[in-house]
């Protein structure tokens, strides 16, 4: 396993958010108080976990914000309506939420201030994602459409006006609700969308062109790509994971792109999420039956099963590329015996101090980065002034030389 520990988190409409060390099977923490719908769990940068919450008593909606060292939400972000899908910018500064009315909301984190909202779809927003380069917000709706918006338009409070003014694209993608959108590559802006209409489609976001259509025997809830973007794994409503190819090495292998393989083991319910992890060596999948499977990709077999059949799972995310577990305030082997509000707070002063130290270091580095940026701006400004002064000095020198030359000619 890589030195950067990967932590699996699952949410539920019936119970807490649970964090697992997937390779040991250890339950690391439970974050209480959220009843989260489909696609309602997201990592907001390195510091926060955000979860959509729908009150069982009033059916009102909110977003719960957690940090890694407490089992209870430290902030409840109010929203005008129940929201389900969430997406966050990589730095964790902004959060986007899709409402049942079809509206999309842009919020600042951690304040929760709503910066902008706009009608994105005519039916509930079903999924949200951010392009791999962090520049675009892409939403899918139960109306079968996909909408693409530049993120800077949503977080810039100085820009007002009609939503059509800052929409990049909006097009009909599927005959049924869009269940997920996955970005391919870093800057090519190609995505693959999934739907209840039993198809997945590749799209160019530059002009909304459909590049390819893949048909399945059932509805697909999500697609995960291997690190090379060559193979995909589709989460089926029939409990199966389907494997296929997005590209092949030669023309002789083109026929392979039309083939679909089914991994041997099967979930007992519809699969709601599948994620590639551990540098492509493993898959992790979660189903509505409450089970989480860890797969070995090379053999296509399940090597560990987590969870139980009592709590339904609504979403699964993997915290990766964010340093080791200690940096997140989660440590394998900590004594988890302190319960607060039905959730588990990881005990031990060491990891709490470690997280606080990390936050303080990041604050110092942030200030240093700002100071460096300011120093560079001042240096560039000074260089510009010196260049102008040099031009004036040279101009003056040339003028003086020319004047002296004329005087010398007059004396002769």
pLDDT grade, residue 171 (50/70/90)?
very high
Q: Is the separation of the CB atoms in 47 and 63 below 8 Å?
A: no
Per-residue confidence (pLDDT) for residue 283, from 0 to 100:
95
CA distance 314 to 36: 7
More confident of the two residues 129 and 158:
129
Per-residue confidence (pLDDT) for residue 189, from 0 to 100:
79
More confident of the two residues 317 and 258:
317
Q: Quote the longest CA-to-CA distance of the chain.
A: 110
Mean pLDDT of 91-103: 96
- 349, pLDDT greater than 70: no
Least confident of 252-261, 308-317, 375-384: 375-384
Give the tokens for residue 46: 């390195």
Per-residue confidence (pLDDT) for residue 351, from 0 to 100:
36
Query: Is residue 285 classed as helix, strand or coil in its secondary structure?
Result: strand
More confident of the two residues 381 and 98:
98
- 373, pLDDT greater than 80: no
- 334, pLDDT greater than 50: no
pLDDT grade, residue 156 (50/70/90)?
confident
Share of the chain above pLDDT 70, in %: 71
**Cα separations (Å) of 391 from 1, 382, 386?**
60, 14, 9
More confident of the two residues 218 and 164:
218
Q: Is the separation of the CB atoms in 239 and 266 below 8 Å?
A: yes
- 191, pLDDT greater than 60: yes
Share of the chain above pLDDT 90, in %: 56
Instruction: Catalogue the long-range contacts made by 150-155 (C-beta closer than 8 Å, 24 or more residues apart).
Output: 151/89, 151/94, 154/94, 154/96, 154/106, 154/115, 154/116, 155/93, 155/94, 155/106, 155/108, 155/115, 155/116
More confident of the two residues 383 and 41:
41
Quick one: which of 285, 364, 330 has its CA closest to 66? Answer: 330
Q: Where are the beta strands (DSSP E) in 250-329?
A: 261-262, 271-277, 282-287, 291-296, 301-307, 315-319
CB crowding 183-197: b at 16 or more within 10 Å, else e: bbeeeebbbbbbbbb
Rounded to two decimals, the pTM is 0.77
* Strongest mean pLDDT among 165-169, 264-268, 307-311: 264-268
- 55, pLDDT greater than 60: yes
- 362, pLDDT greater than 60: no
pLDDT, tens only, 8-27: 999 999 889 999 998 888 99
pLDDT grade, residue 327 (50/70/90)?
very low
CA distance 249 to 339: 53
Q: Quote the mean pLDDT of the chain.
A: 81
Mean pLDDT of 52-61: 89
CA distance 75 to 63: 8
Per-residue confidence (pLDDT) for residue 311, from 0 to 100:
75
Mean pLDDT of 172-192: 89
Handedness of CA 157, 162, 167, 172 (dihedral sign): positive
Q: How far apart are the first and last CA of the chain?
A: 89
- 135, pLDDT greater than 80: yes
Q: Which residues contact 46 (CB under 8 A, 6 or more apart)?
A: 92, 322, 323, 327, 328, 362
Mean pLDDT of 312-328: 69
Per-residue confidence (pLDDT) for residue 310, from 0 to 100:
58
- 142, pLDDT greater than 60: yes
- 291, pLDDT greater than 90: yes
- 195, pLDDT greater than 50: yes
């Amino acid at each position: 396993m890589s030195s950067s520990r990967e932590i699996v988190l699952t949410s539920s409409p019936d119970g807490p958010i649970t964090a697992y060390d997937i390779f040991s099977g250890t339950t690391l923490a439970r974050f209480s108080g959220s009843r989260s719908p489909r696609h309602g769990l997201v990592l907001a940068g390195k510091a926060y976990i955000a979860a959509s919450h729908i009150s069982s008593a009033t059916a009102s909606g909110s977003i719960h914000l957690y940090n890694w060292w407490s089992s209870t939400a430290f902030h409840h972000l109010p929203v005008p309506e129940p929201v389900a899908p969430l997406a966050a910018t990589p730095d964790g500064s902004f959060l986007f939420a899709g409402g049942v009315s079809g509206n999309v909301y842009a919020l600042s984190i951690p304040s929760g201030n709503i910066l902008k909202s706009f009608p994105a779809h005519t039916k509930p927003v079903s999924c949200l994602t951010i392009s791999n380069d962090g520049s675009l917000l892409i939403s899918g709706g139960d109306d079968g459409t996909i909408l693409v918006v530049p993120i800077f338009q949503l977080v810039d409070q100085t820009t007002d006006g009609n939503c059509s003014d800052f929409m990049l694209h909006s097009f009909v993608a599927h005959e049924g609700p869009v269940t997920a959108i996955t970005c391919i590559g870093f800057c090519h802006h190609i995505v693959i969308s999934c739907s209840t209409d039993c198809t997945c489609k590749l799209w160019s976001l530059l002009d909304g062109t459909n590049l390819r259509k893949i048909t399945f025997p059932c509805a697909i809830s999500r697609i995960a790509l291997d690190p090379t973007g060559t193979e995909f794994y589709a989460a089926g409503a029939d409990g199966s994971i389907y494997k296929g190819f997005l590209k092949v090495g030669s023309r002789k292998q083109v026929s392979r792109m039309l083939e679909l393989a089914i991994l041997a083991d099967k979930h007992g319910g519809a699969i709601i999420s599948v994620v590639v992890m551990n540098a492509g060596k493993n898959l992790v999948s979660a189903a509505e039956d409450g089970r989480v499977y860890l797969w070995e990709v090379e053999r296509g077999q399940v090597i560990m099963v987590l969870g139980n059949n009592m709590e339904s799972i609504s979403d699964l995310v993997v915290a990766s590329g964010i340093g080791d577990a200690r940096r997140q305030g989660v440590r394998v082997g900590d004594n988890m015996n302190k319960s607060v509000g039905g959730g588990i707070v990881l005990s031990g002063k060491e990891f709490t101090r470690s997280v606080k130290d990390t936050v303080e270091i990041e604050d110092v580095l942030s200030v240093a980065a700002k100071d460096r940026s300011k120093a560079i701006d001042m240096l560039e400004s000074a260089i510009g002034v010196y260049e102008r002064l040099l031009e004036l000095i040279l101009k003056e020198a040339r003028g003086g030389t020319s004047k002296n030359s004329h005087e010398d000619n007059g004396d002769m």
